Structure formats: structure tokens, C-alpha cells
Structure 1
Amino acid sequence: MSDFVIKYWWLFIWITLALILTANWFMVEAGRSLYYDRWTRRAFSIIDLQFPSSARYYSYIMTSLIKENNKSPGKYTPLKALKRCLWWDFIFMFGIYPFIALVAIHLACRMDYKLFLVLAIAQCAAWLFDLLENGIIFYTMKHPKLFLVTKYHDNTIRDEEQKERTVYFFYKYVVLIKWIIALSGLIFSLLTVLYIYLYQGKYTNHSLANVLITLILFLLIYFTTNLFHTTREELDD
């Protein structure tokens, strides 16, 4: 298993980066159409849904998206753009988590450190948390007040009081744990790779060429991420 991973490691790395690049391109393109206020067109991103300031803010965004979608049947609305982002995010997952795991497994095989094997296996948990996160977001597209508890006093709407539900805190921890696992594996593994190549000098001319190709793919991912930031598309009313 270790010989197989080492032999085809660069090929697998490039495949995962190609998936990340492709999914990222379409996610960023769809992200140009994300706004939650019909009149001011306030832009938001997936990160805003992952780390909302409150359950009420999240609910407000989703409610606005649903209202806009209902007023414009047949048009490419922000809600449809969000759905497109999430579907492409599933493809992104097929790239990012195997990429982190491959780097960690490669280090585990080369250095015989079990810590990297643990980091690689942990990406499976991060992937599951990411799937759960997207599932919750999809569900709130039909139930925008999922994170809110509505209490009535004397059965009057004017005394309505909304509080954050337990499911909202569960959602926040799902997102937080996912990011901690993924970033820990990514940062620690990449820093170790840089240490091996730059400090210890364990590289060959062939491996340097592979590193160059990998850096080019990283740059393409970076540029596609920032490509549309200054040219955000405005939808027709």
C-alpha cells in the first residue's frame, strides 16, 4: 500500500487539485450572484452561512432568498445560485479531503510518523461533517427558521420571542470541528513537506518539476478564487 501511494502520489495529487480547481471555478462564478436583500443586494458567501453572527441572521438570509425565489419563478435567483454552489462543493470535497489525506499518508510512509496517519484518517471525519453541514443548509432552504424557537405569550403575535435552537449550536460545532480537522491536517502536512524540501534538501530534479506543476495548480486555484471579486454580477430584477 505504501509503495503504491509513493509511486503514484504526484498523479493523485494533481487529480485532486484539478477537482479543487474545477469546483472552485464554478463555485466562485455562482457566488457572484449571491445576495440576500432585493433592494440593496447585499452580497454574502458560503462562509457567511458557515459562521453567521446569530441564528436570526442566518434565518433572515434564508428567508430573503426564499422570498426572492418565489417572486421570480423561472429566473436564476440567488437561492438557485446557492444551490449550485453547494452542489459544486460536493465535488470540491472529493478534491480537498483526499488531497490533505494524500499529503499526510505520503509523509507517514516516508517518515514513519503515525501522527500523519492519524491526520489522514481524520479527514474522513471532516468530510462527513462537511456533508452534514451541506445537508443542513439544504434543509434550511425549505425551513429557514429551523435554527429559531418561536414562543408565544398570551397567543399574540406581537409578543413573539425568538431564541436560538439547540440545532443551531449543533450546526456551529459541526462547521467548527470540520474546519479545525481540515486546517490542522493541511497546515501541518504542508509545513512538514516544505521543511523536508527546503531545510533538509531531500529532493531531486524530477521532484522539483513535479513541485513546479503543483505550484502552478495552486496559483490557478488562487486566481480563480479572486477572479470575480471585482466584477460581481448584478441580476436583473
Structure 2
Amino acid sequence: MIYITTTWSWFCLAIAVLLLTTFIMGQLSKQFYTMHIVLRRFSIIDLEFPAFKGEIKEMVKDIYRLDPAESQRTLWALRKHLWVDFLFMPAAYGSNFLVCMNVAGKLNCSGQTFYVALAWAQAIPWILDVIENIYLLNSLHPSVKAFTPIGLKAWQWLEKFKWGLSLLGMVSGVSALLYFWLTGRYLTSSLPYLAILIGEVLVFIIISLLSASKKQATPLT
């Protein structure tokens, strides 16, 4: 029986789940189409960063302007993408947490306090991400309403905090982690975990390239 007892083991597991869910969401996003004057593709980022208060409303309505079969396929893929994202969240924010806590263990005083605070702060973007997904899932109907000016501002600040804190945790944690590895601050016993992480990333890249070489989903006619 294998017991997962170390931070590195949990980190490897989190990265594996993160890459798997990223791949699944990438495949689902190939089916995102909308009819805005002409047929075009869109991404989840378009919904996360609307340029004006009625953009999400217009985008959803444009999905319903598609051929009924294509409209249902896009809505199905979009809903599945958002549900898979709920599995992505603990892997993404959890890996940030583990990295920051691991780095904190190598530091003293203010540096340790910063990374511990940054680790626990990953709960904030996780919560904001959940709020975002719930809102989008509840907006996938023809009668969706546009944001009010205050609502749009709140949405934009939600995205800024979500992406800002998560990217700060990832960049700060990974850069410090690499520094400690390069300067010999970690024992050689941690090297197998580094090999596992590299292997996971390579498998993800290979599978993604093989998938990209296949014909992408095309709209029904």
C-alpha cells in the first residue's frame, strides 16, 4: 500500500490533477461557438473579462442564435467546462498553497510570514473562482440580464483579485522553489519528485500535441 505522507507527494498529485483537468477543459473549449454576425469561436476568457456590461448577455444570446443542435453542443461543452473547473480549482490553488508553505519552511522571520500568508491567501481566489463559475452557470439561458455598471465593476475586481493573488502565489512560490533547488537547499531525496513533475508536464505536452494534430470540432451544419 502506498501512503502519501510528504508535501512533495501531494504537490505531484495536485499537478497531475491540474494538468488532467486543463487538458479536458481544453478539449471542451474546442466546441465553443457563437453566432455574432458570422460564426466564430470564443473562449472562457471572453466570459471572464467582458469589455462592457452587456457583453456576457450578448455572447450567451449569440450562442442561442446558432443552429439548435450546434447551440446545444456549445452549451453542453460550456457547462461541462465550468463543472470540470471545480475540480481544477483545488489542484491549482492547492498546489500554490503547498509550494508557498514549502518555501516558507526554508525562510526565517518576515520571509516566512510572507509565504505563509500568501499560501493561506490562495483561499481567496478559490472562493472568487467558485462565485464566478456559479454566476456563469446560472447565466446560460436566453433571458440572461446584462451587468449593471456597479455589477460590471464588481466582476472586474473579482477577476483582478482572483488572477492577481493566484499568479502572485504561483510566480513567487515557483521562483523561490527553483532558487532553492539550484542552490542546493533541498536534499537529493527530493529529486525523484522533480523527475515526476517533469514527467507529468512532458506527458501533458505530448498528449496536447497529439490532440492538436487531430481535426478540431467543427460546427454542425
Correspondence for 1:80 among 68, 76, 79: 76
1:140 corresponds in structure 2 to 139
Which amino acid in the other structure matches residue 153 of structure 2? F
Mapped contact 1:33–1:78 kept (Cα < 8 A): yes
1:205 aligns with 2:153: no
Which amino acid in the other structure matches residue 20 of structure 2? T
2:14 corresponds in structure 1 to 16
CA distance in 1, matches of 2:45, 2:210: 17
1:160 corresponds in structure 2 to none
Which amino acid in the other structure matches residue 59 of structure 1? K
When residues 52 and 223 of structure 1 are mapped into structure 2, their CA distance, relative to the original with a 3 A threshold, is: farther
* SS of residue matched to 1:202: coil
When residues 100 and 222 of structure 1 are mapped into structure 2, their CA distance, relative to the original with a 3 A threshold, is: farther
Q: How does the TM-score come out when normalised to structure 2? A: 0.86
Taking the TM superposition and a 5 Å limit, the aligned residue runs for 1:36-185 are 36-37=34-35, 40-68=38-66, 71-72=68-69, 76-112=72-108, 113-142=112-141, 145-148=144-147, 164-185=148-169
1:161 corresponds in structure 2 to none
CA distance in 2, matches of 1:174, 1:48: 15
Q: How many residues align?
A: 214
1:216 corresponds in structure 2 to 199
When residues 135 and 68 of structure 1 are mapped into structure 2, their CA distance, relative to the original with a 3 A threshold, is: same
* SS of residue matched to 1:42: strand
Mapped contact 2:12–2:197 kept (Cα < 8 A): yes
Mapped contact 2:35–2:65 kept (Cα < 8 A): no
- C-alpha displacement at 1:195, in angstroms? 1.0
1:196 corresponds in structure 2 to 180
Which amino acid in the other structure matches residue 72 of structure 1? A
- C-alpha displacement at 1:221, in angstroms? 4.0
Mapped contact 1:105–1:120 kept (Cα < 8 A): yes
* SS of residue matched to 1:72: helix
Further displaced range: 205-214 or 188-197:
205-214
Mapped contact 2:53–2:152 kept (Cα < 8 A): yes
Q: How does the TM-score come out when normalised to structure 1? A: 0.80
Mapped contact 1:17–1:99 kept (Cα < 8 A): yes
When residues 76 and 56 of structure 1 are mapped into structure 2, their CA distance, relative to the original with a 3 A threshold, is: closer
CA distance in 2, matches of 1:194, 1:13: 15
Mapped contact 1:62–1:144 kept (Cα < 8 A): no
When residues 184 and 195 of structure 1 are mapped into structure 2, their CA distance, relative to the original with a 3 A threshold, is: same
CA distance in 2, matches of 1:38, 1:168: 22
Identical columns (%): 23
Query: Unmatched 5+ residue regions in structure 1?
Result: 149-163
CA distance in 2, matches of 1:215, 1:41: 39
1:151 corresponds in structure 2 to none
* SS of residue matched to 1:37: strand
